[in-house]
Chain A
Amino acid sequence: MKSVRIGAGQGFWGDSPFPAIDVVKSGNIKYLACDALAELTLAILQKSRQKDPTKGYVEDMFFSLLLKPCREMGVRILTNAGGINPEGAGRMVYELARKMGLKGLKIAVITGDDILPRLGELREMGINLSDMENGGDISSIEDRILFANAYLGAKPMVEALEKGADVIITGRTADPAMFLAPLVHELGWGWDDWNRLAAGILLGHLMECSAQSTGGNFSGDWWNIPKMERIGYPVAEVYESGEAVLSKPEGTGGRVDLETVKEQMLYEVHDPSAYITPDVVADFASARLEQVGPDRVSITGMKGKPRPDNLKVSIGYSDGWLGEAALRYSWPDAMKKARKAEEILKKQFKVMGLSFEEILTEYIGYNSLCGTTAYGDGEDLNEVGLRIAVRTRNKADAAKVPRLLPPLALNGPPNASGAGGMPRPRELIGLWSVLVNRAEVEKQVQINIMEVE
C-alpha cells in the first residue's frame, strides 16, 4: 500500500528548532510541517508590520537552520510563518535561499486569508459579524481592529505542491491542514473522502504542537520521560487507507504511547465528535489508538463528516492595557505581609486618583496558578510573592503600577525583595470570531511561486 512519511518541525513561534533538524535528518520524511501561529501571534505580527511594512511575518532562526538540510534531504516545507505578511516572508526566504546557493528552490506564497480590508463590504452583504462567543456587535470594536484573518484549508497548499513548490509559506491556515496537504497530494485522497481527510486532520492535530504528543507537557509520570533535553518531535507514516503510525526519530528523547498521545488528542478540542476544520469535520470519537511497538502508536478507524459551508475568521482588537508588578516577602508571616502590601497599594491607587476596570491580586507560592482551587490559607508558607495586575484603557495609568512597588521595601512590611523588575505596560488584545461564507474568502486566495536563481 502506498504511504508517505511526514514530520513536525515547530509548535509555536519560539519553539526549539533543533528537534526539527533531527526530524529532517533522521525521520526519513518527505514533508515537514511547521506551525508558527498561535491564536494571538497575528496581533504581535501586526504591531511589527505597523512599525515596518516589510515585516509582519515570523522571523526566527528557523529557515536559516532548516532550509539547507531540507534541500539536501529532499524534504518539502509547509509553514504558516507568513503571519500577516506572507509575501514579505516569501521575499525573506527567497533572499536567504539565494545567499545559500539553493538554486532552483521553488518557494510558494499563499495569500487570501487576510480579510481586514473587506470587513465593511462583508457587513454590507449582510454577513453576521457578531462575535460567536458572546454575540457582541462588531461596531463596538471596529475602530480598534488589528487583524481579521480567515482560516484557510489544505487546498491551496496541495495546489502549490502540485506545482512543485519546495517551500510553502502561508498566513492563517488551519494548523492541521498543513499536515493534511501533503497526504492529499501524495496519497491521492479526494476532497469528499471525508473519512481519510478526517484521518489526516487528527494526525495533523496530534503533530501541530511539536513534542506535546511525544512526551512534552505530559501530566502523567512526566518524570519518567526519557531524555527531555533532546526530545523528539513527532513523525508519522501514513497509508493510502488513512491509517497511520505516529512515532519520533530514532535516538531522540521523549515517549510516544497511548497516554502521551491521548493527552494531545483532546488538547484545545471542544466537541471531540465534531472537530471543525475548513476541509472536513473530524470525529475524534471514532479513532482507535493502539501501541504497535516501542514509541509507535497506530491510529485507525477515523470517520469524518462533510466540510462546513463557512470559514472561521479570527479578528483581533486592541482592548486596553495591563499594568503589573510583583514583590516577594519572607517568613515569618509572609502571607500577612503580602496582604498588607496589597492593602497599602489599593489605598495609594485611590489617593492618586487611579481607577481601574479590574484589579487582580495573586499570591505567588499560594494561588497564582491554581486560583480558587488552592488548599489552605497560605498562612504558614516560607515565602509569598504578591503580584498585582490591573486593567485600564489608559497606558500611562498602567505604567504607574510597577513604580509603586519598590518604595514598599523601605516604607512597608519587612523582608521584601523585588520580583521581575518594572514590567512595561502590555497591550491587551481581544479576540473576536465570526463565520464567513467560504466562497467569499476562497475567491481571493492566490498562489505565487518564485524560483531561486
Chain B
Amino acid sequence: MPKMLLKELAHARSGDKGNTVNIGLFPYNEKDYQLLKEQVTPQRVKQHFGEMVQGEVIRYEVPNINAFNFVLRGALNGGASRSLRSDNLGKCFGANLLRMYVETGN
C-alpha cells in the first residue's frame, strides 16, 4: 500500500491546558477528510506518540471547518509549569503528529 507523510496532506497546531495537549489537524483538501478520518484514528495517534502520552487520546470531528481535534491526556510531563521537557508547552506536538505516515490507497 503506498504511504505518504501526513505533513503532505495536512497542517496542524497544538496547544496545552494543564497536563493535556490538543492538536487541531486540517487537511489541505476537503477530499482528504475521509482518508484522514480512516487513517488518523485516536488509537494510531496514541501509538504514534508512545510513552510521551500517558493517558487516553480522544478525537473530535469538526466537519464545519474540515478539521479534526485530538485531545491527548497526560501528555505534558505534568503540565507546562511542571514539565522537565524542552517543549514544555507542547507547541511541537502538532508538527510531531505530521511525522506520521498514512496509507493513501492508490
B85 & A373 in contact (Cβ 8 Å cutoff): no
Residues of A within 8 A of B (CB): 39-40, 43, 133-134, 217-220, 258-259, 262-273, 284-289, 316, 319, 322, 324, 358, 360, 362, 364, 368-373, 375, 387, 389-391, 428-431, 433
> Which B residues are CB-close (under 8 A) to A286?
64
Partner of A267, one of B15, B50, B60, B95: B15
B17 & A268 in contact (Cβ 8 Å cutoff): yes
- Can you show 7 pairs from A to B with CB atoms below 8 A apart? A39-B16, A218-B13, A262-B24, A267-B15, A270-B69, A358-B84, A429-B81
Chain A CB within 10 Å, residue with most, of B11, B71, B77: B11
Q: Say yes or no for B57: interface residue by CB 8 A criterion.
A: no
User: Given that A219-B11, A262-B65 are contacting pairs, would A267 and B52 also be in contact in the complex, using a CB cutoff of 8 Å?
Assistant: no
B71 & A270 in contact (Cβ 8 Å cutoff): yes
Q: Say yes or no for B102: interface residue by CB 8 A criterion.
A: no
> Which B residues are CB-close (under 8 A) to A39?
16-18, 80-81
Report B44-83 CB contacts with A as 1/0, cut-off 8 Å: 0000111110000000101111110101000001111110
A319 & B11 in contact (Cβ 8 Å cutoff): no
B13 & A390 in contact (Cβ 8 Å cutoff): no
B17 & A263 in contact (Cβ 8 Å cutoff): no
Q: Say yes or no for B104: interface residue by CB 8 A criterion.
A: no
A264 & B81 in contact (Cβ 8 Å cutoff): no
> Which B residues are CB-close (under 8 A) to A389?
84-85
Chain B interface mostly: mixed
B26 & A264 in contact (Cβ 8 Å cutoff): no
B24 & A266 in contact (Cβ 8 Å cutoff): yes
User: Could you tell me the distance in whole angstroms from the C-beta of A147 to the nearest C-beta in chain B?
Assistant: 12
Tally inter-chain residue pairs, CB-CB below 8 A. Answer: 138
Chain B interface size range? 35 or more
> Which B residues are CB-close (under 8 A) to A360?
77, 84-85
B49 & A262 in contact (Cβ 8 Å cutoff): no
> Which B residues are CB-close (under 8 A) to A362?
85-86
User: Given that A268-B15, A373-B96 are contacting pairs, would A262 and B85 also be in contact in the complex, using a CB cutoff of 8 Å?
Assistant: no
New contact pairs (6) apart from A259-B26, A267-B13, A371-B85, CB-CB < 8 Å: A262-B65, A264-B13, A265-B24, A266-B24, A272-B69, A431-B81
> Which A residues are CB-close (under 8 A) to B17?
39, 268, 270
A372 & B18 in contact (Cβ 8 Å cutoff): no
Chain A residue nearest to B91 in the complex (CB): A217
A266 & B11 in contact (Cβ 8 Å cutoff): no
> Which A residues are CB-close (under 8 A) to B50?
372
> Which B residues are CB-close (under 8 A) to A370?
92, 95-96, 99
Partner of A373, one of B48, B60, B91: B48
